[in-house]
């Protein structure tokens, strides 16, 4: 463990953290705390040297993630924070506090103009934009919808607000599952567009008025809100890359990235069950360009295993679509030089 921690510090230095993180910066250390029974997420012992590196530059780091759309201990800040602490992501263990970047229910957000091909503006977690600099720790995995979970996904999906996540995933605006609705009225009370009314003792959403913000998903406690999640994978990846651009736009020189190509699993760390790695550990990559880092991660997997990651997880998906689109919109470059240390 100490040897890995030493190497993480060396990687950060080699990636130029001292030119990216400045004294008195509030540094968002983006990671994923995992899910119950999932034990392959980046552990707190690997986060400690990242925090120490930031603090050695007189910065103030905090660990962070956002609320999720689906039912989970991570769908609100209260149980999300409790779960993170249970996993060892505590001030005593890592040296930094945990802040849920999009607030109590995932609605603390900022709208960021971007030069996208799909969006002209995106909604991202408020703390992601309020932070002065970013250190993004990504566990490289397969993914059932995007083919690749890496730095781009960690930024674009992981730092999107609830509205941003919904705009990436949902083909249609939300609908009410009347058989599950109890008529409590919480969704109507919290709807910012007044698009929900109680009809016959059940909630109903007016699709013409609905803005697709996902607030009804946040407040419903009975799983009575449904979406069509079957968006085309390439389209989803392009939307995800544009939200990633919204996180870093205007400050791409204030971010450092680490991709952990270890315990690579078929699915991402959002799955609430134990997964077996699908290939041997390769190592840890560091850099300042999320597009290049993800491209290098897939290239290394292909070189070491002889197969694309998707061929070993979800054949038929093209996990490089997010990389190509990221390069097209200015998130980063697919060109890179790999230097071993």
Residue 76 to residue 33: CA distance in whole angstroms: 13
Element of type H or E holding 173: none
Is residue 84 within 8 Å of residue 205, measured between CB atoms?
Answer: no
Looking at the DSSP bridge assignments, the partners of residue 113 are 121
Burial class of residue 146, CB neighbours in 10 A (0-12, 13-18, 19+): buried
Alpha carbon of 243 to those of 45, 152, 218: distances in Å?
Answer: 29, 9, 20
Residues 6+ apart with CB under 8 A from 337: none
Residue 334 to residue 341: CA distance in whole angstroms: 21
Give the domains, in start order, of the chain with CATH numbers. 2-167+231-329 (3.40.50), 172-226 (3.30.70.20)
Is residue 272 within 8 Å of residue 72, measured between CB atoms?
Answer: yes
Q: Which of 336, 310, 296, 14 is nearest to 152 (CA)?
A: 296
pLDDT at res. 170: 72
Residues 6+ apart with CB under 8 A from 123: 109, 110, 111, 112, 160, 161, 163, 164, 167, 246
Residues of the chain short of pLDDT 70, as ranges, are 171-172, 218, 228-231
Question: What's 195-256 look like in SS3?
Answer: CEEEECCEEEECCCCCCCCCHHHHHCCCCCEECCCCCCHHHHHHHHHHHHHHHHCCCHHHEE
Cβ neighbours of 68 (radius 10 Å): 20
Residue 26 to residue 127: CA distance in whole angstroms: 10
Residue 164 in 3-state DSSP? helix
Residues 6+ apart with CB under 8 A from 262: 139, 281, 282, 283, 284
pLDDT at res. 326: 98
Element of type H or E holding 34: none
Q: Which of 253, 265, 33, 35 is nearest to 134 (CA)?
A: 253
Is residue 69 within 8 Å of residue 270, measured between CB atoms?
Answer: no
pLDDT at res. 215: 77
Looking at the DSSP bridge assignments, the partners of residue 160 are 124
Cβ neighbours of 27 (radius 10 Å): 30
pLDDT at res. 242: 98
pLDDT at res. 192: 78
Q: Could you give the residue ranges of the DSSP H alpha helices within the chain?
A: 2-14, 17-20, 44-56, 77-86, 91-94, 126-130, 151-156, 162-169, 186-190, 215-219, 233-248, 290-305, 321-329
Question: Within 13 Å of residue 132, how many CA atoms lie on the same side as its CB?
Answer: 14
Is residue 293 within 8 Å of residue 154, measured between CB atoms?
Answer: no
pLDDT at res. 172: 67
Tokens of 273: 């069950």
């Amino acid at each position: 463990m100490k040897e890995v921690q030493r190497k993480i510090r060396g990687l950060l230095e080699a990636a130029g953290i001292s030119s990216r993180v400045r004294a008195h910066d509030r540094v968002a250390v983006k990671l994923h705390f995992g899910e119950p029974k999932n034990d392959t997420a980046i552990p707190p012992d690997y986060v400690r040297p990242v925090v120490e590196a930031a603090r050695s530059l007189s910065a103030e780091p905090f660990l962070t993630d956002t609320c999720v759309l689906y039912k989970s201990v991570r769908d609100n800040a209260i149980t999300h924070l409790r779960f993170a602490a249970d996993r060892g992501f505590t001030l005593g263990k890592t040296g930094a506090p945990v802040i849920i970047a999009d607030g109590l229910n995932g609605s603390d957000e900022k709208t960021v103009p971007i030069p996208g091909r799909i969006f002209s503006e995106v909604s991202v977690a408020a703390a992601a934009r309020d932070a002065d600099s970013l250190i993004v720790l990504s566990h490289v995995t397969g993914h059932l919808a995007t083919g690749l979970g890496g730095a781009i996904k960690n930024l674009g999906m992981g730092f999107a607000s609830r509205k941003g996540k919904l705009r990436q995933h949902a083909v249609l605006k939300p609908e009410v599952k009347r058989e599950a609705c109890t008529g409590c009225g919480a969704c109507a009370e919290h709807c910012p567009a007044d698009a929900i009314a109680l009809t016959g003792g059940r909630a109903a959403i007016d699709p013409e008025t609905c803005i697709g913000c996902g607030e009804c998903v946040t407040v419903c406690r009975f799983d009575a809100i449904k979406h069509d999640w079957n968006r085309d994978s390439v389209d989803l990846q392009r939307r995800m890359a544009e939200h990633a651009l919204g996180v870093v736009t205007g400050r791409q020189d204030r971010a450092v990235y680490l991709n952990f190509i270890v315990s690579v699993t078929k699915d991402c760390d959002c799955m609430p069950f134990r997964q077996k790695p699908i290939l041997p550990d390769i190592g840890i990559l560091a850099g300042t360009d999320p597009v290049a880092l993800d491209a290098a991660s897939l290239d290394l997997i292909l070189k070491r295993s002889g197969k694309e990651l998707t061929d070993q997880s979800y054949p038929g998906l093209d996990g490089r679509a997010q990389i190509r689109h990221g390069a097209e919109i200015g998130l980063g470059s697919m060109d890179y030089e790999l230097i071993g240390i």
